[in-house]
Amino acid sequence: MSTITFRDALHSAIHEEMARDDSVFVIGEDVIAQGGPYTVTEGVVDKYPDRIFQTPIAEAGIVGLGVGAALAGMRPVVEIMYLDFITCAMDEVVNQAAKMRYMTGGQASVPIVIRLPCGLGRYVAAQHSQIMESWFMHVPGLQVVVPSTPKDAKGLLKTAVRSPDPVMFMEYKRIYTSEGEVPDEEFLIPFGEAEVKREGEDATVIGIGPMVGKSLEAGVLLEDDGFDIEVVDPRTLSPLDTDTICESVRKTGRAVVCEEDSSFAGTGAEIAAMIAESCFKDLQAPVIRVGMPHVPMPFAPSLADSVVPRVDDVVDAVRRVIA
């Protein structure tokens, strides 16, 4: 095992998959000049100069080229500088990539990975800080992946590159520098398999992305109150591992769902509804959601920090659900 950053885990996965498969290539803005805005593609041009392409600011063209290349047998890894800009390519994602296998009766597939830096990083306001996981969960044919640790980032990205269908790969900007242990040997993490990051008996906390780390911190703080929480990381939202989540909720009888996105019509709402439908007889209290208010991301640092859920918000939610 080696201790590396989330960013380096992604970097390693891309290099390994490009070495393994000549059909893998990288395309996006600044992927050569800067190694991408977060240096994830650093060094690719030195090893594979004919398999990395730097583009103009034209997201519809970038994704459209990727979809066409995937249909022709290539495996593009597309980087969109900020998740927000994928809105400029929604036709290519939603109407083309997601629908192709279905509309061709399985004769065609689109093995494309779209990497999407998201959430609050630097304070860059409402058009550069969004989280749209639930948008893509709603689209049949798209796989939605949200790693929370360096190990998950590497294992899930390698699986994504090898997938025959489109993958929306969400990368929270605030955890690019977070560190964790990653196996030195090759490994893949299957889609649709959640992981219990912390075992407990009193309440289940389902954390998404950075909220996994915050939920683990909350677990340590809650020990002082005598509360023992279990933390479940879905890792992929589509497919969603409902079995692992429900198994945990049936054990503890209580559930808190935590996300950094808006709680309104969000990922947490879907998971909470699923728990209510599947585990109603096991619940000892209503499911509680922790998320951002239904507002645009503010520009002022103090305001931005105030709307993004914190460890204390998780602690308060657990106390409410156990009370």
Structure tokens at 46: 């030195």
Higher pLDDT, residue 122 or 143: 143
What is the DSSP code string of 200-237?
-SSEEEEE-THHHHHHHHHHHHHHTTT--EEEEE-SEE
Position 173 pLDDT exceeds 90: yes
Q: Mean of the pLDDT values across residues 182-197?
A: 98
In the chain, which residues fall in CATH 3.40.50.920? Answer: 195-322
Catalytic residue selected from 128, 259, 260, 270: 128
Domain 2-182 belongs to what topology? Answer: Rossmann fold (3.40.50)
pLDDT at 180 over 90: yes
Sheet with 113-118, side-by-side order of all strands: 52-54, 24-28, 75-79, 113-118, 167-172, 143-145, 236-238
Question: Is 199 marked active-site?
Answer: no
- Predicted local confidence at residue 34, as pLDDT: 82
Active site residue 15: no
Structure tokens at 145: 């992946």
pLDDT score of 121 more than 90:
no
Q: State the catalytic residue, choosing from 17, 29, 42, 59.
A: 59
Mean pLDDT of the chain: 97
Distance, CA of 178 to CA of 219 (rounded, Å): 19
Helix (H) or strand (E) holding 25: strand 24-28
Rounded to an integer, the average pLDDT of 9-16 is: 98
DSSP 39-51: STTTTHHHH-TTS
Assigned token pair, 318? 């657990």
Dist. CA 128–CA 120, nearest whole Å: 8
pLDDT at 168 exceeding the cut of 90: yes
Token duo for residue 36: 């991408």
Contact 72, 116 (CB under 8 A): no
Q: What is the pLDDT of residue 149?
A: 98
Q: Which amino acid is at 85?
A: F
pLDDT of residue 323: 85
pLDDT of residue 101: 97
The three-state (H, E, C) secondary structure of 276-311, written as one string: HHHCHHHCCCCCEEEEECCCCCCCCHHHHHHHCCCH
Closest CA to 213 of 270, 252, 258, 275: 258
Range(s) for CATH 3.40.50.970 in the chain?
2-182
Please state which of the ranges 34-48, 199-213, 265-279 shows the lowest mean pLDDT. 34-48
Global pTM reads 0.96
pLDDT of residue 104: 97
Is pLDDT above 90 for 122?
no
Contact 44, 14 (CB under 8 A): yes
Predicted confidence at residue 13, as pLDDT, reads 98
Picking from 54, 60, 240, the residue whose alpha carbon sits closest to that of residue 146 is: 240
pLDDT at residue number 141: 98
Asked whether the CA dihedral 6, 8, 9, 13 is positive or negative, the reply is positive
Cα separation, 93 vs 222, whole angstroms:
42
Percentage of the chain surpassing pLDDT 70?
A: 100
Confidence of residue 142 (pLDDT cuts 50, 70, 90): very high
Q: To which H or E segment does residue 160 belong?
A: helix 150-162
Confidence band for 96, pLDDT divided at 50, 70 and 90: very high
* Tokens matching residue 223: 């020990």
Q: Which amino acid is at 279?
A: C
pLDDT at 170 over 90: yes
Q: Does residue 2 contact residue 41 with C-beta atoms inside 8 Å? A: no
Helix axes 210-223, 311-322, angle to 10 degrees: 60
Per-residue pLDDT of 241-258, as tens digits, reads 999 999 999 999 999 999
Cβ(25)–Cβ(51) under 8 Å? yes
What is the CATH architecture assignment of 195-322?
Answer: 3-Layer(aba) Sandwich (3.40)
pLDDT in tens, 294-306: 999 999 999 999 9
The pLDDT-based confidence of 37 (bands split at 50, 70, 90) is confident
pLDDT band at 12 (very low <50, low <70, confident <90, very high): very high
Q: Identify the pLDDT of residue 125.
A: 94
